[in-house]
Structure 1
Amino acid sequence: MMFNLVKLAATLTLLAAVPAFAADRTAEQVVKDHVAAMKTANIDAVMADYAEDTVVVTPPGLVPTQQPANAPGVYSGKTNARKVFVVLTGKDSIGGIRAMETVVEPLGGDVALLRWIQFRGTPQQVSGVDVFVVRGGRIAVQDIILDTAKP
């Protein structure tokens, strides 16, 4: 009996430490969880936020293998979308991701905006907004839009 109580307590402790992926997460919470996962550079944790049939749209050239390189990338399905996040959490990008300042703006329903800026006030400054559509607690669509105006 005591062993079962200890096992139950350990299981509850572990469950409390794992992020919930319930369908009732708001779009705002899903995006906040996504940003937190990105900053860990753990690609599996990042991809856990995505629906199997997700669509991720990127600016031209974000993914080195993107074809054509001068057009937006469209990555349909979780396996293809993973290519985007391997780049963004890779050694050449993770510094900017970890230092990224973010603001999540819920737009109601299943849509939220993520406004972000990296390297504020430096020549490397880059910023943008990502549009997220969340369904069933998972990211169904993400459009990554870079700001083109220079500070």
Structure 2
Amino acid sequence: MSTAVRSPQEVFADHGERLGTGDLDLVAGNYTEDAVAITPAGTFHGRAGIRQAIGHLLADLPDAHWQLTPSFAGEVLLLRWSARTTEHEVADGVDTFVFRDGLISAQTVHYTRTDRTA
């Protein structure tokens, strides 16, 4: 068994796959036990908090089509994103991720969800 710590890029790629499953326990497994997420819905702590934070995001944008532009700098990721659902869209999504020991230790999330126009 390998003891190599995953790179931020590997963690982020795995994070995207896990998000796609909608399984909040699986998603939370990519975060440290003491992780913190700061989102428009509030500040969330630990893996239980991560499940809540991700749950809010997925509920806001169910079955979304995502466009991601990641920029890595060492253990930090700036992620610019947009998303569209049948009823809503986000044009200004910005997250930051801080990685530690092959997991996500902190994340900030900012986005404005608007109604889609025909």
TM-score range for the pair, normalised by the shorter chain length: 0.7 to 0.9
Compare CA radii of gyration and give the structure with the larger one.
1
Q: What do the CA deviations read for 1:26-67 (whole angstroms, capped 9, x no partner)?
A: 1122122112211111112211101000000001xx3xxxxx
* Unaligned ranges ≥5, structure 2: 114-118
Match of 1:75 among 44, 52, 65: 44
The answer to whether the Cα contact below 8 Å between 2:98 and 2:107 also exists between their aligned partners in 1 is: yes
CA separation of 1:75 and 1:58: change in aligned 2, threshold 3 A:
same
Match of 1:37 among 8, 14, 18: 18
Amino acid at match of 1:112: L
Flag the structure with higher strand content: 2
1:104 aligns with 2:70: yes
CA RMSD of aligned residues (A): 2.7
Amino acid at match of 2:71: E
Q: TM-score, structure 2 length as denominator?
A: 0.79
Flag the structure with higher helix content: 1
Q: TM-score, structure 1 length as denominator?
A: 0.63
Offset, 1:94: 2.6
Aligned residues: 112
Identity of aligned residues (%): 32
Tell me, in whole angstroms, the C-alpha distance in 2 between the residues paired with 1:111 and 1:42: 25
CA separation of 1:79 and 1:103: change in aligned 2, threshold 3 A:
same
Tell me, in whole angstroms, the C-alpha distance in 1 between the residues paired with 2:87 and 2:53: 24
The answer to whether the Cα contact below 8 Å between 1:42 and 1:89 also exists between their aligned partners in 2 is: no
Match of 1:124 among 53, 76, 88: 88
* Unaligned ranges ≥5, structure 1: 1-14, 63-72
